[in-house]
Structure formats: C-alpha cells, structure tokens
Amino acid sequence: MGFFRRAVLTVMALALVLGTGTVFAGSNTDYAGESMAIGVGARPLGMGGTFVAIADDASTSYWNPAGMVNITGVEVSSVKLTKANFEEGNLESKYSYVNVVYNTGSAGAFGLGWLRQAIDGIDLTDVYGNLIADSQENADNVVYLAYAYPIIKGISAGATGKVLLGNYPAVVNMTASNTSYTGFGLDLGLFFNVGDFVNPLKGLSAGLNLQDLFTQITWDEISGVSDGGTETVALNLKPGIAYRLPIEQFEIIASCDLDTKYQMNVHFGGEVWWNKMIAIRGGMQTWGSIANDTGNENLSQDANWSIGASIRWYFIGIDYAYVYNELTPVQYLSIIGKF
C-alpha cells in the first residue's frame, strides 16, 4: 500500500477516535447549523435518511462522500421541496439542493453542491407587538466541495469541505434590518463493500460519516445590539449498514443508519427496484419518545416515516418522496442525470 493510502487511513482512523470521544462526552448540544440536518435527495429521504452504506448516487456527497467512487462517470442531481403544509401563519419553506459528481476512476471522485434553505413570510414586530415589516425572508446557504479516493478494491475514503453563508431579518433601533453569518466545516466518510472481501457476504456494505467533524459559524456584530459570536455545530457520528438482494429482474435493498448528534437515533429503510428502472421505497426516521434536556421525563412524539418512488429512463431519472412528521408533512422531488 502506497504512502498516500496509508496517510488517508491514518487520518480517518484518528478522526474516528477523536470524533467518537466528542460525541459520547456530550460536549456540544446546541442546534447550530440545523439547515444541514434535513438531508438531500428524494431517494434517501424516502428511505428515512438511511443512505450512508448505500451511497451509490450523486446525493452521497452529502450522506457519505466516500461513496462517490460508486458512481460511474458524471452524475448530476437536484432536490426541491415541492410542498410543505404549515397549518398556522403565512410562513413558506423553500429548500433546494443541486450538485454534480465526477468519478475519474483511479484519480478519485470529485463533487460540488449547493444547498439553500429559506423561510419566507416572516413578520417583524417591536416589543409591543406592533408590525415593523412583513414578508421578510431568512436564508441559509451551504456550498459543498467533496473528494473521494478508492484506497483498495472495496474500501474508499472521502471528505467534504463546507462553506456556510446565512442572512436573517432583525429589528435594530425599531427598524427592519438583518444579521448574517459565515462559516466553514468538514465531513469525513468511509465506505466498505464487505462482499469484496468475504464472498458469502456479497451484497453487504457498511459506511461511516463523521458529519460536522469540525464546523463553526461566526455571526456578524450588530452595532449597539450584539457583539456577534461563534457557534460550533454538533458532531453527528453516522454509521450504517446495507444489504442488496438481487432476485431475477428485481433488487431489494435494506439499510439501517444511526445518528448521534443529539441522542441515539436508529432509523431504517428499504426499496425495491424492477429492472433498475422503477422503484418503490419507505423508511422510518424517528418514533416513540425523545429525551427532554430540561427534565427527567421523555417527550412523546409521532413516528416520522417516509415513502417514495423512482423512475429511470436511459440517462434521466425522477425521484419522489413524501416525508411525514408531526410539525408538517413535506414532499420532495429530485431530477437525476447521468453522463
């Protein structure tokens, strides 16, 4: 194994050890960078966000950058939130992501993406509830730069650098104003095709993504109101496993991921493909109860589940997902292009 491959493995191993220690020490429990936590791609979102160990389309630059080596040639994808049913108020959610991945082969794979989340229809009021400005919008933007390298057959490593930019409406001296932030971050991923090493386990794969291994956001100063400040985005240690079972013209894929950003959260999903052209899928992201940081009791919540479907035709594909949660059900649509 060459020097570069040994160096990559060493860095990933150290990152895993340090990252694991940070998660279980519980050193960071803030909610900074929530715009990056939703996920991208209608296909992964339709499977409950379980994609770390599948990692075989362009959205993997978000879920697990190491999986970009599984893509052939160039793949372009996008996702757009098509509908969110807010029951109260005039708020409108806008969520979109577009990216491209190019796998060169022996030189590795490169990815470039842009995520934008915005909330429109925000009303600004003074301390007495008087309207100062209406229909304001906040916006969070993240630019992703990813690279993956095939260390040996069946094992790959990847990294994603992130540039964060945001703008939020604010009230300053009884007039409408805004505040903004900038930031940067880093994800590291590993992908392991178990079947390449143990033939009886063909179809089994595993993945790991250290999301926000080191990600910080710096808010600008607002004269006379705020001195600004820096927030650290909590690390999410995200391992996963997946299994593919081909049966004649069908392929069944089952997957399971673990999130640790705020508490242990196991989610799982599955899909069935016919002739690699048509698919249906479903998943479960959360269910039962969640821990209450301000008390000893748990908070009950409805199960968050999702369903979806796909169609592929030559170099074009369309993915759809319906994601249910107790705040508001949302729908996503992705367009895929392969070249």
Of all residues in the chain, what percent are helix, strand and coil, respectively (each to 5)? 15, 55, 30
- C-alpha closest to that of 174 among 213, 140, 132, 207: 132
User: Which tens digit of pLDDT belongs to each residue from 172-209?
Assistant: 777 777 788 999 999 999 999 999 999 999 999 999 99
User: Which tens digit of pLDDT belongs to each residue from 211-248?
Assistant: 999 999 998 877 666 677 899 999 999 999 999 999 99
Amino acid 82: pLDDT: 76
Burial class of residue 27, CB neighbours in 10 A (0-12, 13-18, 19+) = exposed
Residue 156 has pLDDT above 60, yes or no: yes
Please state the pTM of the whole predicted model: 0.83
pLDDT > 70: percent of the chain: 82
- C-alpha closest to that of 63 among 45, 78, 75, 51: 51
Domain ranges for the chain: 3-240+315-338
Amino acid 6: pLDDT: 44
Distance of CA 48 to the CA centre of its chain: 11
Region of poorest pLDDT, from 1-15, 85-99, 246-260:
1-15
